[in-house]
Amino acid sequence: MTVDLTKPIRAALSKFGQPFTFSPPSPAPDQTIIGILDSGIELEDVVPGDSSTYARLTVDATGLTPAPIPGDEISNTTSVYKIARLEAQPDGCLMLLLRYDRAVT
């Protein structure tokens, strides 16, 4: 029996997901993505290594063009984050580790 792992994650994204803005480098336009944010999930262990914590954002990567890379920005209504690391999941989703960059002004 084959289990489709994409269904539970996509169901969670459709039920609990919130809108975020993905800002790839110019000239690509900003894109609205739906994701689930878990804040404070992992201590930062690389420079600047100031004991900040990463947030994890799970998104459906289908249709994201260009693909996110470290350094790109993700924002919501209150905060702007920089992508520190990303991990592709076998279900077509991405788990982005985000570092808080600044408040939205």
**Structure-block tokens of residue 99:** 């570092």
Of residues 6 and 74, the one with the higher pLDDT is 74
Task: Specify the DSSP class assigned to residue 104.
Answer: -
> Under CATH, to which class is 6-103 assigned?
mainly beta
pLDDT tens digits, one per residue of 21-41: 999 988 889 999 999 998 866
Evaluate whether 87 touches 67 at the Cβ level (below 8 Å): no
Q: Residue 64's pLDDT is what?
A: 86
Evaluate whether 6 touches 91 at the Cβ level (below 8 Å): yes
Of residues 3 and 101, the one with the higher pLDDT is 101
Q: Residue 53's pLDDT is what?
A: 74
User: Is the pTM value of this prediction over 0.75?
Assistant: yes
Secondary structure (DSSP) of 67-102 = PP-TT-EEE-SSEEEEEEEEEE-TTSEEEEEEEEEE
Cα dihedral across residues 82, 96, 44, 42: positive or negative: positive
Could you tell me the residue ranges of all domains in the chain?
Answer: 6-103
